[in-house]
Amino acid sequence: MTAIGFVGLGAMGGRIAGRLLACGNVVYGTNRTRSRAGALVDGGLIWCDSPREVAEQADVVFSMVTDTPALAAITRGPGGILAGLRPGSVYVDMSTVSPDASRELADRVQEHGALMLDAPVSGSVPAAEGGSVAIMVGGDPAAFARVEPLLRELGQTVTHVGANGKALIMKLAVNISLAVQMIAFSEGVLLAERGGIDPELAIDVLNSSAVGSPMLRTRGPLLLDRPAEAWFDVNLMHKDLGLTLEQGRSLHVPLPSTAVASELLSTARALGYGAQDIVAVFDVLAQLAVREDVAA
């Protein structure tokens, strides 16, 4: 049986590690805050005291952390994943981080006799719990073939898109539409509401129209009924759009809608919505509308 390691047991990583456990795998894991892993340990996860210890125990190591600095923190140094990687093992990072930093890390992994895949996911916390996320994978085809059965336990679709870093570029491309659609949808609902239309009715009509999408049909109702735990918070989306704009500059691609979305999310953070789900952009627009009313 393949020994699996998992570093980063937060909102998404914890659900994915739980899914691996539920499918009958032996999973070694660690997290910066051990208390967040309590339910997983109760469910059979074997706790390790460092990312290095996880890598030393595992044939396939997964990680999922918030950003590029966090990835550096879990991979480098005497207690990091790189120090514990076995020759011949595969390291699968599911974080959304800088494609350039990920490619550099893949080179370091290869120096240790292992192979790395970037495998970011598209989907919410419930999708991770239910194994219905979409997984994009970049890296060595043979390494992908080796871990594909595990990835298919985690995702509804699993797509190898090319060399290291390519999956991250694809994930950033996906998140442009996620952010821009959410903002446009919120604008439409707010406009309808201010025009005297019941917002619940407006959400139903928009989702039944040509602009309805699977994402909006799932997230639209959250404008009026927020989840207790953010499915994808404003801070993370703002970070992802920053990475997207960096790639746009590097590849000489204009990204005007991304820039506008990033600016609105920056405003959302300044107003205290950073830890809330991205549907909070509706509240931000409503606040801005109130201020416009006052100014008028």
pLDDT score of 264: 97
Q: Are 113 and 92 in contact (CB under 8 A)?
A: no
Question: Distance between CA atoms of 163 and 161, rounded to whole angstroms?
Answer: 7
Model pLDDT for residues 58-115, shown as the tens digit of each residue: 999 999 999 999 999 999 999 999 999 999 999 999 999 999 999 999 999 999 999 9
pLDDT score of 63: 97
Which class is 3-162 in CATH?
A: alpha beta
Q: Are 56 and 27 in contact (CB under 8 A)?
A: no
Q: Are 57 and 5 in contact (CB under 8 A)?
A: yes
Partners of residue 152 on adjacent β-strands: none
Q: Which helix (H) or strand (E) holds 155?
A: strand 155-162
| Identity of the amino acid at 256 | P
Q: Where in the chain is the domain with CATH 3.40.50.720?
A: 3-162
Q: Provide the annotated active-site residues.
A: 171
**Which range, 141-150, 212-221, 222-231, is most confident?**
141-150
pLDDT score of 229: 87
Cα distances (Å, whole numbers) of residue 59 to 126, 147, 148: 28, 10, 14
Q: Are 80 and 48 in contact (CB under 8 A)?
A: no
User: Percent of the chain scored above 70 by pLDDT?
Assistant: 98
Q: For 169-295, which CATH superfamily applies?
A: N-(1-d-carboxylethyl)-l-norvaline Dehydrogenase; domain 2 (1.10.1040.10)
Q: Where in the chain is the domain with CATH 1.10.1040.10?
A: 169-295
Task: Collect all residues with Cβ–Cβ distance below 8 Å to 206 and sequence separation of at least 6.
Answer: 185, 188, 189, 212, 216, 220
Model pLDDT for residues 218-271, shown as the tens digit of each residue: 899 999 988 888 899 999 999 999 999 999 999 999 999 999 999 999 999 999
Burial class of residue 212 in the structure, from the number of CB atoms within 10 Å of its CB (0-12 exposed, 13-18 middle, 19+ buried): middle
Partners of residue 233 on adjacent β-strands: 277
Q: Are strands 60-63 and 155-162 parallel, antiparallel or unpaired?
A: unpaired
The predicted model scores a pTM of: 0.92
pLDDT band at 22, cuts 50/70/90? very high
